[in-house]
Structure 1
Amino acid sequence: MNEFIGSPFFGVVLSIVMYAIGVWINKKTKSPIANPLMIAIVLVIVFLLVFDIPLEEYNKGGDIIGFFLVPATASLALAIYRQLWLLKKNFLPVIVGCAAGSLASMGSVYGLCQLFGVGEQMTSSLLPKSVTSPIAMDVAAMLGGIPSIAVAAVVVTGIIGAIAAPGMIKLFRVKNPVAAGVAIGTSSHALGTTKALEIGEVEGAMSGLAIGVAGVLTVIFAMIIG
């Protein structure tokens, strides 16, 4: 048993099992609050604490899963390609929408950090919370922040976005699928995009596109700030 825990397979198997449980709970409850990823994170933490397993042992396999984050994000290009005509038709609104969303995200984080007296390093770590993890880690490091905290902020933001997106669209009566997709992708990156794909193909394509555009714009804004 100790040999299994000390191998990379432990982290991989544990993550898959806990996520499968999260998916099962989500299907049974049919509630957006029962997000599979959020459930999996909680279950993994509880499991490690109960059995007193060091995080380092889990990360031997967890890092392997993290390696596939970039190609998984890139695979969203397929949905974008299918809606390429729609992108060409709405090129300017998409760029402006992503820019506005990125500025709103970074501006709100900076303002709240200043209001609550959060230190400069923590502020730099939280600024890229609305972009995908690989970009957020680089932006945080560039600004003098802590990449691991940036990743945590990205995950929390994505989960909140995936849970809240359908309700927010209904609340503000967003009828345009392009606008809905861009808003979801810009504010809650890949996790939000998984929900956008459930809402509709156009929403999913535009959300996937917004991940890349918002990521590039966030890097540019961070360079200006830095």
Structure 2
Amino acid sequence: MLNELLETTKYLGLAVSLGAFMIGLKLSKKYPYAFTNPLLIGTILVIGLILVLDIEVANFQKSAQVLSDLLTPATICLAVPVYRQFKILRENSWVVLISCLVGMISGLVTIIGLALILQMSETTTLSTLARSITMAIALDTTELIGGVAGIIVAGVIFAGIFGTVVSNLIFRIFRIEEPIAKGLAMGAASHAMGTAESLKASELQGAMSSLAMVVSGVMMVGLIPLAALFVQ
């Protein structure tokens, strides 16, 4: 019955997704812990609903398509804090470039290394290479090298959620307090989700994270095809 309702109701999936996120947001405000990230809670709630009610994923995805359509414009809007902090960003341009390059190369090496250890198939490996960049770039890049869209979507979401959940703990362990360093790490490792989390801390950290996300995405467009040749 719900599958039929999703097919006939254009925005039911959107309403369910937003409702799950709002529940996560309220829980996050009431219990401000790392694991109460609203996106994580919302994702778990939606997955649970799909499993319990035996909903066709394709029907739900179609009903929530507007969220995917808004992904690129939302990413572009992150340019606002970059513009506001442009002077500081320009003064640290080499730090940004080197940090992003090291982060992307280490990420690719880690993925390929794990793929070899776990004996992952070629298709699965190709579908996880872009997991450290924003969804708008990761999807197109993965499809171009022959990867599976569903796998990279899950990979990007997991990377974003995991980064936002463990980031504060990692920063405390390594005593990282500089907003520029935090922002670069979050943007390079957790893309848009990390940037959204960084904006909560400060505009400078958010601007650095946004810039790192964009620079990392551009770099990966060139690095991923090279890594794909090695995998193939």
Normalized against structure 2, the TM-score is what? 0.93
How far apart, in 2, do the equivalents of 1:118 and 1:4 lie? Answer: 38
Is 1:178 the equivalent of 2:180? yes
Which amino acid in 1 is paired with 2:180? V
Which residue of structure 1 aligns with residue 6 of structure 2? 5
Moved over 2 A (4+): 1-6, 48-53, 223-226
Which amino acid in 2 is paired with 1:164? V
Which residue of structure 2 aligns with residue 67 of structure 1? 69
Which residue of structure 2 aligns with residue 78 of structure 1? 80
1:159·1:191 contact (CA, 8 Å) conserved in 2? yes
Aligned residues: 226
How is 1:143-182 mapped onto 2 (pairs within 5 angstroms)? 143-182=145-184
SS of 1:33's equivalent in the other structure is helix
Which amino acid in 1 is paired with 2:215? V
Alignment deviations for residues 38-57 of structure 1 (CA, whole Å, 9 cap, x no partner) = 11111112222323332222
Which residue of structure 1 aligns with residue 125 of structure 2? 123
Name which of structure 1's ranges 141-150 and 16-25 shifts more when overlaid on structure 2.
Answer: 141-150
2:6·2:63 contact (CA, 8 Å) conserved in 1? no
How is 1:32-111 mapped onto 2 (pairs within 5 angstroms)? 32-111=34-113
How far apart, in 2, do the equivalents of 1:156 and 1:218 lie? Answer: 18
1:185·1:210 contact (CA, 8 Å) conserved in 2? yes
How far apart, in 2, do the equivalents of 1:74 and 1:174 lie? Answer: 28
How far apart, in 2, do the equivalents of 1:151 and 1:60 lie? Answer: 15
2:11·2:64 contact (CA, 8 Å) conserved in 1? no
1:8·1:58 contact (CA, 8 Å) conserved in 2? no
Which amino acid in 2 is paired with 1:140? T
1:24 is aligned, of 23, 26, 32, to 26
SS of 2:35's equivalent in the other structure is coil
How far apart, in 2, do the equivalents of 1:59 and 1:175 lie? Answer: 40
Alignment deviations for residues 40-79 of structure 1 (CA, whole Å, 9 cap, x no partner) = 1111122223233322221222211111011111100001
How far apart, in 1, do the equivalents of 2:71 and 2:108 lie? Answer: 23
How far apart, in 2, do the equivalents of 1:105 and 1:8 lie? Answer: 38
Is 1:139 the equivalent of 2:141? yes
User: Deviation of residue 211 (structure 1)?
Assistant: 0.6
How far apart, in 2, do the equivalents of 1:44 and 1:54 lie? Answer: 12
SS of 1:174's equivalent in the other structure is coil
User: Deviation of residue 4 (structure 1)?
Assistant: 4.5
The gaps in structure 2 that reach 5 residues or longer are none
1:198 is aligned, of 191, 197, 200, to 200
How far apart, in 1, do the equivalents of 2:22 and 2:129 lie? Answer: 32
SS of 1:8's equivalent in the other structure is coil
